[in-house]
Amino acid sequence: MKVFNIFFCVVFVIFAGLQYNDPDPYVWMPIYLYAALFCALAARRRFYRKWYLAGILVYLAYAVYLFFAKDGVEDWVVSHHAENIAQTMKATKPWIEETREFFGLAICMAVLGINYWYAGKAKHANS
């Protein structure tokens, strides 16, 4: 788990740094840095299940919004036939930006979810 968390801590810090030129860095930098912080703590065997759950719930609410929003993931799949969202780094179409953001949240939720599960398992093993 230590290598897993160090890896994702670095990845999330890089993701946060890449948001600098984004139209809404004040939203996305904290999202990625929150996940990076809890990965860094987990790498040091400090687990905070309530904070993982809080992050997952906030990310989930935002992901649901991005899924159903105008030019969101649903629109990308239905109206734009899931066109390639990795053609260029610059998202020239709004559904590409929204879909990429959705998947960024999904990655954050998955990592926090794995840490949440592992922390519960580790807690029961130490009991």
What span, in angstroms and rounded, lies between the C-alpha atoms of 39 and 119? 12
What span, in angstroms and rounded, lies between the C-alpha atoms of 54 and 49? 9
Is 106's pLDDT higher than 60? yes
pLDDT in tens, 22-80: 888 999 999 999 999 999 999 999 999 999 999 999 999 999 988 888 877 667 666 66
Q: Please tell me the pTM assigned to this model.
A: 0.85
Domain count of the fold of the chain: 1
Other CB atoms within 10 A of residue 99 CB: 25
Task: Give the structural domain span for 118.
Answer: 2-126
Amino acid residing at 25: P
Mean pLDDT of the chain: 86
